[in-house]
Amino acid sequence: MVRVPRLLPVGALVLLASGLGTGLFGALVGGACLSATVALAQEAAPEAASGDAPATRGRRHGRQRTRQAEKAATPPGMQQATPVAIFGDWNVFVNGDGRAKLCYAIAQPQTRSPKTLKRDTAYLFVSVRKGENVQNEVAVMLGFPSKPAASQVKPGSAATPTDPSLTLGASRYGLVVKDGNAWLQNPAEEARVVSEMSTRNPKLIIKTTSLRGNPTSDEYALAGFSEAMKRTRDECSR
C-alpha cells in the first residue's frame, strides 16, 4: 500500500455516503447549494483554493434513484463512515452495516484544466451497495454545473464532441449530468469501465463544458485503483 498525504476529507465523504444510502449522491461539506447563476459568476474569477463541492439534488436519466441533497453545516452521519485503506490516490470508505452497507473507492483529480477557472473540489468514485446488488456504480462530482449532453437536451440526438465524457485510453464513454454531478449514460457499461480502470490505463479523464462554454478536463491517476476496488468489494462482502 502506498500512503499519500492527500487523504480525502472524512466529513465530505461521510456526507456523501449518507446520501448514497438512499440513492447515489449526497453533498460534500463546504456551504449551501450553489445556483447556476452563482456558478457562472465564479467562472469569471481565477481559480481559488480547493473547497468542497456544493449540495446538489438530481435524478439520473434512465435510472430511478433519487440523489439525497444535504446542506453542509451539520452533516448527518459524520461519525458513521470509516476510512479503511489508502492505495495511491484512492481512499476506501465504508458506511453502515448488513444490507444497508455502502463501500466506495474515491479520489480527487491530479490535474485540472484550465487552471484559471474557479471550481469546487471534484471527486470520482465507484460504489458498492450490498443490499441493492450494486457492484460498479461510477459517479463524478464535477465541482461545477456542466452543460448536458445533446441527448439529454433532445432525446435521440447524436453525441457531439463537446458532450460530457469519461475517457480511458482510446475508449470514450458518454456522461449524463445533473447540476454538478455526472454518471455514465449507459449503466450497462459500468463493469467494463471499472475493469478498464483496474487493468489497462494509467489515467482517466473527465471532459465537460461549463455553462459559460468553457471546456474543462480533470485527470485522475489510476495507480492503486485496482487494489482499492478489491478492498472495497471485500469490505462489502462481509
Structural domain including 128 reads: 10-237
Looking at 17-31, 133-147, 155-169, which range is the least confident one? 17-31
**In the prediction, which pLDDT does 17 show?**
39
Examine residue 181 and state whether it is found in any structural domain, yes or no: yes
Cα–Cα distance for residue pair 181/110, rounded to 1 Å: 19
Q: Which pairs with CB-CB distance under 8 Å and at least 24 residues apart come from 190-197?
A: 190/136, 190/137, 190/138, 191/135, 191/136, 193/136, 193/138, 193/166, 193/168, 194/126, 194/136, 194/138, 194/229, 196/168, 196/169, 196/171, 197/126, 197/168, 197/222, 197/225, 197/226, 197/229
Task: Kindly report whether the peptide bond that precedes residue 83 is cis, defined as omega within 30 degrees of 0.
Answer: no
The count of structural domains within the chain is: 1
Residue 173 lies in a domain: yes
Compute, in degrees rounded to 10, the torsion defined by CA atoms 207, 69, 232, 238: -160
C-alpha cell read off for 61: 436519466
Query: Does 3 map to a domain?
Result: no
φ, ψ of residue 72 to 5 degrees: the values are -90, -20
2 lies in some domain: no
Residue 133 lies in a domain: yes
Whether 1 maps to a domain, the answer reads no
- Say what the pLDDT of residue 2 is: 33
User: When comparing pLDDT for 50 and 110, which is higher?
Assistant: 110
| C-alpha–C-alpha distance, residues 99 and 23, integer Å | 14
Cell of 217: 478536463
Quick one: pLDDT at residue 166?
A: 97
Whether 5 shows a pLDDT value over 50: the answer reads no
C-alpha cell at 125: 468514485
pLDDT in tens, 43-68: 333 333 333 332 233 334 333 332 32
The helix/strand/coil state of 82 is strand
> CB of 3 within 8 A of CB of 86?
yes
Report the percent of the chain where pLDDT is more than 70.
66
What pLDDT, on the 0 to 100 scale, is given for residue 131? Answer: 84
For 144-168, what is the mean pLDDT?
A: 93
* CATH label of the domain that carries residue 220: 2.60.40.1880
Please indicate, yes or no, if residue 4 is contained in any of the structural domains. Answer: no
Is the pLDDT higher at 225 or at 74? 225
Helix (H, G, I), strand (E, B) or coil at 25: coil
Q: What is the model's pLDDT at position 193?
A: 97
Within-domain flag for 20: yes
- Residue 153 amino acid letter: V
Would you say residue 134 has pLDDT above 50?
yes
Residue 145, all three cell numbers:
454545473
How large a percentage of the chain has pLDDT more than 90? Answer: 49
Q: In the structure, what pLDDT confidence band is assigned to residue 201 with cuts at 50, 70 and 90?
A: confident
